[in-house]
Structure 1
């Protein structure tokens, strides 16, 4: 039985799914992506989730991604997988995650048919109870979790966290004030750095960072400034890095995924621009704009290098 019933805290790494030009999963580049996140000190790895194009993965690709993540992390940090959508597939992937040695999974909401709140509660409960792994439930898009839903899930020891991708701060206040420390609270908004200063006072102590795939030192600098209430640094990072990148992300649907791959390519982490439909690659004008933003960001906030020990 899993003993550590707590959700990860800090900056959470969400590696992408690198595909070749012939649309095959590139396991070597995935391993490199995960190793990079580990080297940069991220507190957990969430593999085959939304950033990893979970809805487009075959079972074999999913298994391969979990294998790579578990192998590369080698128990240094928790490994969470993505499950969700079709409940039968979710149960199968939850079992795969357990068999392959993951620590938990992020349960994505069902698609197309939202269901009543009682149905949502049973959906999340059924998946969470299917193994003894930790489970984090995710509200996003048209799926919002009510107090009665979380009351049901509070009785399930496997459910350790709630991730928010809605940005409804009234709802978040009600949920965090009602359940407080029973759940870990994770910010899962697109480019979560934009909203993290508003989430911390509610008890959210972690977030998924897309930009950590290519400028993790800036994400860390921002997170530290938020925790330390360093408003001057927060404002400066907002103006010169966070908001300019976010402005590009908002230009097209799917950029929450494809913009990560573009940023990695620009920063010398070649993963290619291949994404799976309905997502499209970043358009040239936006790619060039991101290049300019990242060049300016590195000039303003150069990554510190550690001198080799003698």
Structure 2
């Protein structure tokens, strides 16, 4: 087992749903192929963007099986587990059975546990299989240094994904634990904050916009790493910040805005098909996103026919 988490731009495919609220398996296959063709460094299926919270076990296993058949050994394949710990353990077993590389452990359901409870939650799931595990630091699973140090003794825990945004904690974590973990930026629309994370040793981030404009995600990240400030600033002003302003308008937009963007560029996703409590993007915001993406493609063109 290669005990290293993926680096680079990480793909988090959505779960396409048809008009009968069933998983659209052909659309999922197509969308994963699109991300692979776009050069993303890893796939994370059935995670937050994939509406993990609403997937029952059979659907989950179908997603994992499809993703494994499409991804193969091209890039690392991770799944999402978490929430209800019993359910998380079952899904960890499914992931192991289908031969994925690891899983992202999302926060527990509802409860704000003490540090001991947070440790036990992450450690129980991570040690349940021999797959790699990445712990997701956010919401009701915010760790202190002592908790992360204890998790560092569990060999399956290879990565730390931050969705909390405390730079004080991130500095303490990275300075103390260094290369023991791979460090992933999991903040909302992570392109917005990545310039603050790179100097701390964060070499990966989850990109929501890569679901529909992966070539711009790549152009942005390459410019950031090469210190091309002019290009970074241009992409911020033309693409990233305008999309992020829309994203902040809806609590469901972490998922539904991705589906809207995919639909706009012609990918096989019906943006109206989401499961409660997620709601679709409003018509006004959909039109705003359309305009942003039109301008983005005019300025940073790509031949989508190669991927579609």
Runs of 4+ deviating beyond 4 Å: 304-307
Q: CA deviation at 1:119?
A: 1.1
Which residue does 1:175 correspond to in 2?
Answer: 173
Which residue does 1:297 correspond to in 2?
Answer: 296
Q: CA deviation at 1:305?
A: 8.3
Which residue does 2:58 correspond to in 1?
Answer: 60
Q: CA deviation at 1:306?
A: 11
Which residue does 2:143 correspond to in 1?
Answer: 145
Which residue does 1:20 correspond to in 2?
Answer: 18
Which residue does 1:278 correspond to in 2?
Answer: 277
Distance 2:109 2:147 in 1: 18
Gaps of 5+ in 1: none
3-state SS in 2 of match to 1:135: strand
Distance 1:104 1:217 in 2: 26
- Partner residue of 2:100 out of 98, 102, 123: 102
Cα deviation digits, residues 14-54 of structure 1 (max 9, x gap) = 00000011110011100111100000010000000000000
Q: CA deviation at 1:143?
A: 2.3
Q: TM-score, normalised by structure 2?
A: 0.97
Which residue does 2:286 correspond to in 1?
Answer: 287
Distance 1:231 1:306 in 2: 30
CA contact (8 A) 2:113 2:141 kept: no
Which residue does 1:260 correspond to in 2?
Answer: 258
Q: TM-score, normalised by structure 1?
A: 0.97
Which residue does 1:197 correspond to in 2?
Answer: 195
Which residue does 1:218 correspond to in 2?
Answer: 216
Distance 1:271 1:34 in 2: 12
RMSD: 1.2
Distance 2:248 2:305 in 1: 36
Q: CA deviation at 1:142?
A: 3.2
How many residues are matched?
305
3-state SS in 2 of match to 1:186: strand
Q: CA deviation at 1:224?
A: 0.5
Distance 2:54 2:304 in 1: 38
Q: Relative to 1, partners in 2 of residues 1:290 and 1:305: Cα closer, same or farther, differing over 3 Å?
A: closer
3-state SS in 1 of match to 2:171: helix
Gaps of 5+ in 2: none
